[in-house]
A and B are shown apart, each in its own frame.
Chain A
Amino acid sequence: MAFDYDKYIRPGKLPHIWCPGCGHGIVMKGLIRAMDSLNLKKEDTCIVSGIGCASRLPGYIDCCTLHTAHGRAAAFATGVKMAKPEMNVILCGGDGDGTAIGGNHFIHACRRNINMTYIIMNNYIYGMTGGQFSPCTPTGAKASTTPYGNPDPGFDIAKLAIGAGATFVARGTAYHAAQIDKLIAEAIQHKGFSVVEILDDCPTTYGRRNKYRSVIDMMNRLKEVAVPVKAAEKMTAEQLEGKVLTGVLHKVEKPEYTEEYAKVIQRAQAAK
């Protein structure tokens, strides 16, 4: 049966602003399916975002939403979660928003292990501002500010999140559309800070500068580089060269921040 996306979309908001072939729409569909599979109530769910193409996502979804300052989604979301710990808080944003401008907020939210889900749509570039290179742009790739190739190595967002202390880290791609909702649903159910990185395509500002002739070329590249975690266990280091692992990469249990903070409040009140 066809999935009814309309019940989760704000009336009159479509068509969205994303370019033809942009994977953000595919991720948004995945998020809506995940919300539906978990029966999240609109009034108990808050989607928080910063600035950028990917951060336009909350504007289209009919639930509590917050569109904040550039890179500060994690800071505002922490406030929402501390004020209402029972709320399901979901953050979304791009790679530039999450790891450059909001890099500090991102790693400290990971460190705190506060119960939120961060969906990072990694399209390797700053799309909305005109195609400047981001911390995730691969070495040698061209952007409007690196016309002769990017000299910097790119961030691995999943490893960054694991290193900073996130307790659930998963990665999917816009090509593997059917997997996105399962990863997001598992991340929302996980108690603690969960990061879902979705590799995405930006045909307008990344693709045409880097010899991808069409959206389909970009989608096929995602298909080629992605290797599921279980398949990677049987592969050699040479075979994994240039590949990206997908699936649930890291899952551990640690004390959750809002619960720990509630204990601090109890201790402070007992000491009076």
Chain B
Amino acid sequence: MEKKLPTIEIVEKYCKGCHICVEFCPTKVLEMKGFVVAVKNLEACIKCMQCELRCPDFAIKVTP
């Protein structure tokens, strides 16, 4: 059965590039692209929602 990938929506207008989501992601799905965060490796996402929970800027929305 094919694994259903989550969608990670990043609101670039809100992101201030604090690195919290990048550092606290246990599987290193996210990376910094300039001053804002971007999705690097969506296949590795385990849907733990840590990035959405910890983002202080309301910039990440994960739909598992």
Contact = CB atoms under 8 A, between A and B. Distances in A.
A11 interface: no
A246 to B, nearest CB: 17
Interface of B: 13-14, 16-20, 23-24, 49, 52-58, 61-64
Nearest to A15: B14
Contacts of B13: 15
Given A2-B63, A15-B14, A216 B56 contact: no
Q: Is the interface of B mostly helix, strand, loop or mixed?
A: loop
Interface string A1-32: 11101000100001110111111111001000
A25 B18 CA distance: 12
Given A1-B64, A216-B23, A20 B54 contact: no
B63 A25 contact: no
B3 to A, nearest CB: 18
Contact of A21 (B20, B62, B63): B20
A24 B56 CA distance: 7
A21 B35 CA distance: 13
Contacts of A25: 55-58
A22 B14 CA distance: 14
B17 A20 contact: yes
Given A26-B54, A178-B53, A215 B63 contact: no
Nearest to A219: B20
Contacts of B61: 2
Nearest to A33: B53
A35 to B, nearest CB: 15
A23 to B, nearest CB: 6
Given A14-B14, A15-B57, A25-B57, A2 B52 contact: yes
A146 interface: no
